[in-house]
Amino acid sequence: MPGTGQPAPREPRRLIASDRVIGTDVRRRDGSRIGRIERLMLDKVSGRVVYAVMSFGGFLGLGEDFYTLPWSVLQFEPRQDAYVLDLTEEQLRAAPARSPEGTDPAADGAWVEQIHRYYDVAPYWGI
């Protein structure tokens, strides 16, 4: 702090490289693991992260399901070093699944509407 001889508290880093996000756990608030981030999808014009493709279930990469989550439904929790998603297992299993490649949702307007309605978030272009 200025004038106290104490250093000013450091603000947490706000930027992270995409390769450090890939592979990061997705957890519930209670710390239980849901899945991990496999891919990020970016808006080419604005540069914003719009979706994260998350793997869920399976064992050693076999039998996994993939879900494209609007980026706005994930919150980074530093104490867990993970992204937090407030969904029950039943809600997640009922969510619209996607391919592991994270196919560009812009090619499917009905899916884009469905995914935003399901997670109850505004479409990324309306943010």
pTM metric for this prediction:
0.76
Q: Which fold has domain 18-126?
A: SH3 type barrels. (2.30.30)
SS3 percent helix, strand, coil of the chain, rounded to 5, is 25, 30, 45
DSSP class of residue 61 equals T
Q: Give the pair of three-digit tokens for residue 61.
A: 């990469």
User: 53, 68 in Cβ contact below 8 A?
Assistant: yes
User: What is the amino acid identity at position 19?
Assistant: D
Instruction: Write out the chain's pLDDT in tens, 127 residues.
Output: 455 566 655 556 677 888 899 999 999 999 999 999 999 988 888 888 888 989 887 665 566 788 889 999 999 999 999 999 988 878 887 887 775 555 555 566 777 778 888 899 887 775 5
Query: CA dist 107 to 68, 103, 112, Å?
Result: 14, 8, 9
Give DSSP secondary structure letters for 79-125.
TTTEEE----HHHHHHSPEE-TT---GGG-HHHHHHHHHHHT---GG
